[in-house]
Amino acid sequence: MKKALLAATVVASALTASLVAAPAATASGFPRDRDGRDRSAIPFTEATVTAGADGSFTLDWKARGTKRVEIKANGKVVAKGGAQGRAVVTGLPAADRQWFDFTPDHGRGLHLADRLIKLDGAVNFRDAGGYRTTTGQWVKMGEVYRSDALDKLTANDLAKLQRLRVKTVFDLRMADERTQAADKVPAGASYVVADVFAGSGSFQALPRTPDEAVKAMTDAERAMVAGEGGKKAYTQVFEGIQRDRARSVLFHCTAGKDRTGWANASLLTALGVPRETVEADYLASNDYRKAANDAVLSHLPAQQAAVYKPLLDVRPEYLNAGYAEVKARYGTFDRYLKDGLGIDSRELRELKRDLLVG
């Protein structure tokens, strides 16, 4: 009865003839197929799940060197295709989060969901994972989350987060933010204050022009890297992710874009995710927060809105200021992790072993 509803519409058919297999990530000692391919490797170079407002899910993938890809949801096959494809899946039952298993004809598969977690009281709550690294591994989903403020979460939201196994919440906000909009956390979760701007003096005066607003944002990004508060806070986050094997770990600030953005950029960079992918994840806050930001700006006079907009945005120049500060102070990102956050090579290997697949 559900067959027609669950049928996937494959928009792009297999393109194996035009795709050339490239070396995948290998792991010494793992068994290989007859043609020499590492069975532990993940052939997917791209794979995403995008939930639609109508309850549909769009699945996109590219898996070089494969001939067949099968995708399951709730244990049932909902899509099939070749090395590259797109499928639109409808008729799945409502769930806190719909997961899909992407299985290629060789190598390891992926367990993916839409990155956004839909909540009534937050607009920028999303999964930190689901990205491919430069070595061909993938960051696990369902382990680490990032978000905007939690003070408006409803009882249903909190119940959902409890079912998603949110065990530790890191609050990256300043004292006055925490006082004015106290966190609501799911039952059983630990709450940890990790004030990024503690003692930094950031945002003590409001900018008067758009240029001053941009400068305030880039200066704040540098302070996240160089300031003692930032180093301590991000050390807490990294240590918490390593320590909490029960998962899941959540870190957040007010808008979930700047302090939270650098936390996630640091984590993804440490795991080996390419810079362009990290930037795309960072800039996605502009999309997730668009309706909320537009509502704020629409109530301001034009001149004031022009000054305020850079404070609501995320821009490449903001993120680049953080990376530039890392280079200026530490030389390399690994040195930032080691000397700034206390994450040595052994701990970094453990973090990768814990959060990466493939």
CATH number where 187 lies:
3.90.190.10
Q: Are residues 215 and 296 in the same domain?
A: yes
Q: Are residues 157 and 95 in the same domain?
A: no
| Run of H or E including 241 | helix 228-243
Domain end call among 114, 133, 168: 114
Please list the pLDDT of the chain residue by residue as tens digits (358 residues): 333 333 333 333 222 222 223 333 333 333 444 544 455 699 999 999 999 999 999 999 999 999 999 999 999 999 999 999 999 999 999 999 999 999 999 999 999 999 999 999 999 999 999 999 999 999 999 999 999 999 999 999 999 999 999 999 999 999 999 999 999 999 999 999 999 999 876 666 789 999 999 999 999 999 999 999 999 999 999 999 998 776 799 999 999 999 999 999 999 999 999 999 999 999 999 999 999 999 999 999 999 999 999 999 999 999 999 999 999 999 999 999 999 999 999 999 999 999 999 9
Q: Are residues 122 and 99 in the same domain?
A: no
- We report the CATH number of the domain holding residue 13 as 2.60.40
Domain end call among 48, 79, 114: 114
Beta carbons of 163 and 142 less than 8 angstroms apart? no
Q: Are residues 349 and 263 in the same domain?
A: yes
Q: Are residues 215 and 306 in the same domain?
A: yes
| Number of domains making up the chain | 2
- Distance, CA of 8 to CA of 77 (rounded, Å): 9
| Active site positions, annotated | 253
Q: Are residues 140 and 289 in the same domain?
A: yes
Nearest to 260 by CA among 319, 333, 346: 319
Residue 196 structural domain: 116-358
pTM of the model: 0.88
**Residue spans of beta strands (DSSP E) within the chain:** 9-12, 44-51, 57-63, 69-73, 76-81, 84-89, 99-104, 110-113, 126-127, 138-139, 144-147, 168-171, 190-193, 249-252, 356-357
Beta carbons of 343 and 236 less than 8 angstroms apart? no
Q: Are residues 106 and 162 in the same domain?
A: no
Q: Are residues 126 and 104 in the same domain?
A: no
Within a 10 A sphere around the Cβ of 294, how many other Cβ atoms? 10
- Distance, CA of 29 to CA of 107 (rounded, Å): 15
Which spans in 244-315 are helix H?
259-271, 275-283, 285-288, 290-298, 302-312
Domain end call among 83, 98, 114: 114
